[in-house]
């Protein structure tokens, strides 16, 4: 199963787990499955229309899904998905 790295601000929802395994064929499915296991997490990742929030980055094996296939990006067994809130900084 693909594994998902959970950032600190979202660990309240995952009982403090920093990595969870989720069975899903693509990123969209992965978000739905995460929501069924950890209710409330979808609202943190996506806006009302279901689009990924602007300041949330999802990486599949270190590649931003915005430069892959978005939520249609397919997942393989050994893939690692990282959820990374954008870091504000610099001027």
Interaction of residue 56 with other proteins, rule CB under 8 A: yes
Interaction of residue 47 with other proteins, rule CB under 8 A: yes
Token digits of residue 19: 């990595």
Neighbour tally for 60: CB within 10 Å: 21
Comparing CB distances to other proteins, the nearer of 28 and 85 is 85
CA gap 22, 10 in Å, rounded? 16
- Minimum separation from the CB atom of position 19 to other proteins (A): 17
Interaction of residue 15 with other proteins, rule CB under 8 A: no
Interaction of residue 21 with other proteins, rule CB under 8 A: no
CA gap 58, 55 in Å, rounded? 10
- Interacting residue ranges for other proteins, rule: CB under 8 A: 8-9, 43-44, 47, 53-56, 64, 66-67, 85-91
């Amino acid at each position: 199963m693909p594994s998902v790295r959970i950032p600190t601000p979202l660990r309240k929802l995952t009982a403090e787990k920093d990595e969870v395994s989720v069975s899903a064929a693509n990123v969209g499915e992965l978000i739905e499955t995460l929501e069924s296991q950890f209710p409330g997490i979808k609202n943190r990742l996506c806006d009302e229309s279901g689009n990924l929030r602007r300041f949330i980055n999802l990486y599949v094996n270190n590649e931003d899904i915005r430069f892959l296939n978005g939520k249609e990006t397919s997942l393989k067994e050994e893939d690692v998905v990282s959820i990374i809130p954008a870091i504000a900084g610099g001027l």
